Amino acid sequence: MHCANCALTIEKRLKKIKGVDNAEVSLASEKALVTFDPSLVPLEILEKAIKEVGYEVVYESVILRVSGLSDATDAKAVEERLSSLEGVKQVSADHVLGKVFIEYNPALLSLADLERTLESLRITVLSEEFSQAFEEKEALRLKRLSILGLVATVPIILYSQHKLLSFLPLAGTTISAYLLLALASTVQFGVGYRFYQGAFRAAKMRTANMDTLVAMGTTAAYLLSIRYTFPYPNWKYIYYDSSAAVISFVLLGKYFEAKMKGKTSSVIKRLLELRPKRARVLKEGKEVEVPVDAIEVGDIIVVRPGERIPTDGLVVDGHSAVDESMVTGESMPVEKSPGDEVIGGTVNKEGVLKVKATKIGSETFLAQVVKLVEEAMGRKPEIQRLVDRIAGVFTFIVIGVAGLTLLSWILIGADPSTALINAVSVLVVACPCALGLATPTAISVGMGKGAEYGILIKNSEALELASKLDYLIFDKTGTLTEGTPRVVEWVYLPLKSPIARDGSSDPKLIELAAVAEKNSEHPLARAIVEKAIELGLKPEDPDEFISIPGKGVGAKYMGKDLLVGSIRLMRDKGVKLNGAEKVAEDMMLKGRTVVAVALDNEVIGLIGMMDSPKPYAKEVIEALKEMGIVVVMITGDNKRTAKAIANLLGIDEVFAEVLPGEKASKISELQEKGHLVGMVGDGVNDAPALTQADVGFAIGSGTDVAIESGDIILIRDDLRDVVAAIQLSKRTVKQVMQNLAWAFGYNTILIPLAAFGKLYP
């Protein structure tokens, strides 16, 4: 909202809704106080009404680090519970990273409400500072329990094979059976207590998970074994080795899973570790060492060679080369001198720099990158949501198959012990965790890899969709081209004159045009003046100067009239053209922007300028074509100029003479034909088009990643990163599919084998 009229517009719209008694909108606080009957007006209706008049309801997002999410089933239960709260817009729980991403309306519920809801589900919310230490302690705890479990399980397995290993002391005796019970009890309850905790927590959430299967299966085998241990052991039905081995090996798997989770989030940790803990700040002319968190905007920081720059800032003194590879992916050190920006966390390689802090805390580039990566990891792609739904019912299917197995074996005449063991085999061989881990691990690793190379993926849907794009639209100016015109040729007129034949070697035309354009700020004028300086000329000031908006400039110089501008301007002023129109047309066919120069009411020459293609532009276009992607260039330039640039780069399709506001509609037209469309452009100027595209690539964003509209942010102004982002997407999706194939294949093959008695626990 920008004014009182905005607030009034929202008020009027809300009051029209049946069931709304009153609505008051405050411009100062940017809040709407609405009195309504919730039985008549759902909250969604109010939000929709606000959007209809062109405004958005503000939601806050938070990422909570948690413990207690065993698998995808738990994550799904948490999502369902939190989503049921009024005011929650979106929830995504990630059991791999141990995080819950929540988007909510702070006017309807608080962060404390969300935390209390999680606590009621026996999910512990960890503080930011404590979370990393907790993860490390959890991995260490799992390691110790796994070792204890294996140490106890090995003798259980050995003594269970007493017929083969009869040389063992007390093998096959009653005493050995009692000793096995003692060791199995240690494993069942001392090591395996976590599975009972997880199963109980799942039951509390009215669901079932991997812990439920392990707890049910091993408890059944353990109790059956006790039944046949007393008063004298019946070794045929004693399966202490099965229950102990399942607990120990599943726990070992959880340990490896915890280690894998650590690697998955290691990129974020590495980024956070880039920021030094302390910095030297100039206070009254003296260097004072302070914690980085104590730095304030405006402080002057001294950075010596080999040290990391503590925060984003501006060099005010000194010259050096800075290694930005860990932040932007730029392999070569970047030269820095007074006036240049530096990024917190990068390494000063050579000289001493004095840096004025411009951003601190959550506003720094590193903090923005970490926030974007974490939020992206928190938003699940559609394929992961589908897999999570399958995993959510998978456990119940397995329990059903186990029950059916038990009943079937009894019906065909097997003794109850054999039937029970086959049912237990079904329970312990099933692995819903494999399904739940298949997608998030691959996607998190893919996003992390991208962040290392300056490719920030803002949501996982974009990572998935980028692999399927069949159309990719590039904005021309500043994306495919440098964005600044430069003089590439000039010719004198009329062409039959002696000077016209050797025109390009005579700079007089450029000098005269530069005199006329010297006081103009137009990009074409700047290009002419820069060319004159490049040629060693020193354009003088004109005696008189007049700007003709949209057409050119006029000037008086040494008693002569100068006119510099478009052919249309020359025609409007009645200037003698000397064949300028035909020559200009030939130049435009080569992609030139043409400026005519007239002296005393007669065109004496034409200057051709061009916005040159960026390095690697042609190679990038070729690489995209090889991927089967149709490349399109979109520009506001006339068709001839646009076609010339497109031919130069090998682009077959061009949308020319498109106004900035029409770019999004061009993308929409392609989408309506069933195409998946990507857009590459400037994250600010091309915001509507980037938002309309299925995947928006904001290129050359530098350190202002927070304001970008793209789904994928390319920090460097390097077109090759577009190809790298799509390749990363394809590799990640391929890895997801492979993981899912293994997960589904494992369960599809082994569960039937267990049910038919071909596998024993």
Q: For 16-73, give the secondary structure using H, E and C.
A: CCCCEEEEEEECCCCEEEEEECCCCCCHHHHHHHHHHCCCCCCCEEEEEEEECCCCHH
Residue 12 has, within 13 A of its CA and on its CB side, a CA count of: 8
| Cα 268 to Cα 404: distance, rounded to the nearest angstrom | 46
User: DSSP class of residue 485?
Assistant: -
For residue 223, the SS3 value is helix
The whole-angstrom separation of Cα 535 and Cα 410 is 98
Residue at token pair 């019970």:
181
Q: Are 384 and 460 in contact (CB under 8 A)?
A: yes
**Radius of gyration in angstroms for the set of CA atoms belonging to the chain, rounded to a whole number:** 35
Nearby residues of 327 by Cβ (< 8 Å), 6 or more positions away: 271, 274, 343, 345, 346, 365, 366, 369, 454, 715
- Which DSSP string do the residues of 133-154 spell out, in sequence order? HHHHHHHHHHHHHHHHHHHHHH
Choose the catalytic residue: 211, 312, 475, 682: 475
Distance CA 518, CA 528 (A): 9
3-state secondary structure of 100: strand
In eight-state DSSP terms, residue 308 is B
Please confirm, yes or no, whether 561 is among the known catalytic residues: no
Cβ neighbours of 611 (radius 10 Å)? 23
554: left (phi over 0), alpha (psi -120 to 50) or beta: beta
Q: What angle do CA 106, 125, 93 make, to 5 degrees?
A: 75
CB–CB of 94/48 below 8 Å? Answer: no
> CA torsion sign, 546 to 552 to 557 to 559?
negative
The closest of 519, 535, 548, 521 to 607, measured between CA atoms, is 535
- For residue 123, give both structure tokens: 């999910």
Residues 6+ apart with CB under 8 A from 297: 357, 358, 359, 360
Residue 743 to residue 391: CA distance in whole angstroms: 11
Instruction: DSSP for 312-366, please give it.
Output: -EEEEE--EEEE-HHHH---S-EEE-TT-EE-TT-EE-SS-EEEEE---GGGSHH
The structure tokens listed for 324 are 């930005």
CA dihedral 498, 501, 507, 510 (to 10 degrees): 100
Q: Which two tokens stand for residue 656?
A: 């020319």
Burial class (CB in 10 A: 0-12, 13-18, 19+), 719: buried
- Spell out the residues 6+ positions from residue 91 whose beta carbon is closer than 8 angstroms to its own: 78, 79, 82, 83, 100, 101, 102, 103
Rounded distance between C-alpha atoms, residue 599 and residue 519, angstroms: 18
Instruction: Note whether 323 and 342 are within 8 A (CB).
Output: no
**Which amino acids are annotated catalytic?**
475
